[in-house]
Structure 1
Amino acid sequence: MQQLAIFGGTFDPIHWGHLLIAETALHQVSVKQIIWVPSLNPPHKQTASFEHRLEMLKQATKDNPAFTVSLIEANRPGTSYAINTLIDLCAVYPNTRWYWIVGLDAFQTLPRWYRGHELAQMCDWLIAPRLLGGETIAQSELICKQVEQHLANQSVIIRWQLLHIPLVGVSSSLIRQLIHVRQSIRYLVAEPVRLYIAAHNLYSK
């Protein structure tokens, strides 16, 4: 049975923090491949176009053969739910043990996701600690245990582990903000991504 990991998100834009998280997951749990899944129409967010975000994702990940960009969300009508993504990927990659890479903030809300209790048991969860809130690893672990206990109270068993990533205080929102005020984003994103953003004048307005 192969081991694969899903890394979903808006990636608006993808930055070194995302890449560090994916690389850590690749080796910490010995997954064969990281499947990047850019979201088409994320709820409650205004983003750059799917085409721009997809191209930046491809540019940033193209040099790593263990990284694959999936278009599984590209033609999905209506609201995109995580459980549908996993079900669809299971059809493409049968006989797979699945891992789901998610940030701590998102993991906290997992019990409230659409069919979240069902999804929680369908894969192992790899949690990226919060990098910008000042939490320690111990605090991140405590938050994860609280989610685990909340689900256990409803007879839901979840398997999770924290990713041991270098703490890099970079986020997509920070990058967009720097571009807006005409500050450099060199070394915060992969160079092809920086050049793409400049060429298409993204995030400057």
Structure 2
Amino acid sequence: MKKIGILGGTFDPPHIGHLIVANEVFHALQLDEIRFMPNHTPPHKRKTNKVSDSDRLNMLKIAVKDHPGFFVEEIELHRDGASFTYDTMVELNSLEPESSFYFIIGADMIEYLPKWHKIDELLQLVQFVGVKRPTYNDVTEYPVRMVDIPEMVISSSMIRDKIWNRQTIKYLLPDSVIKYIEENHLYES
């Protein structure tokens, strides 16, 4: 059975924190691959910026291209409406019945699990894998397999703010993603 990690998010932009989380889980659980899954419309966030799904997808493809076990899963970008993990995992399990899925979440989402759409049904479709995030609690009544990772305080919103304020983002993103952002004038004031 193929073991597939899923790391969902807005990836607006994808940064080294995303890559480190994926790499740590990939090796700790000896997964066959990690799929980065950009969502179209997250049900718990309002989309506030003007960066297109296409630009987020392009940046993500650039960010993961050098890792042989990292791929991009576009399934949620091709659906209208809110991106509910339950709906996505029903579809992926149907398309790949010989695979087992490990859905990677940060401690911020572990706290939010009781509010997830169809959480009890979703637990039958995936193994949740949690990683710590500073200032968030990772204690839960749900079966979440924790993986130790280096803790970092890096967020896409912080990076967007830095770009907006013309501050350096060196080492927060892969150089190839920084180049894409600069060439396409993303997140500028």
TM-score, length-scaled by structure 2: 0.92
Asked whether 1:93 is paired with 2:96, we answer yes
Deviations 1:80-121 (A, max 9, x none): 210111111112322222110011111211111111121123
Residue in 1 that maps onto 2:58? 55
| Unpaired segments ≥5 residues, structure 1 | 149-157
1:126 paired with 2:129, answer yes
SS at match of 1:74: helix
> Percent identity between the aligned chains?
37
RMSD: 1.4
Q: Is the 8 Å Cα contact of residues 21 and 163 (structure 1) preserved in structure 2?
A: no
Read off the aligned partner of 1:83 and give its amino acid letter.
Y
Q: Separation in 1 of the partners of 2:108 and 2:123? A: 15
Mapped partners of 1:93, 1:66: distance in 2: 17
Q: Equivalent residue of 2:77, what SS?
A: coil
| TM-score where L is the length of structure 1 | 0.86
CA distance in 1 between partners of 2:18 and 2:81 (Å): 26
What is aligned with 2:158? 174
List, as ranges, runs of 4+ consecutive aligned residues in structure 1 with deviation greater than 3 Å.
none
Pairing 1:105–2:114 present: no
Task: Output the CA distance in 2 between the equivalents of 1:75 and 1:160.
Answer: 28
**In the alignment, is the contact (CA less than 8 A) between 1:111 and 1:117 conserved in 2?**
no
Shift of 1:58: 0.2
In the alignment, the residues of structure 1 paired with residue 68 and residue 132 of structure 2 have an alpha-carbon distance, to the nearest angstrom, of 25
Q: Is 121-130 or 60-69 further displaced after alignment?
A: 121-130
Contact 1:60/1:192 (8 A) holds in 2 = yes
- Which of 14-23 and 120-129 deviates more? 120-129
2:182 matches 1:198: yes
Residue 60 of structure 1 deviates from its aligned partner by 0.3
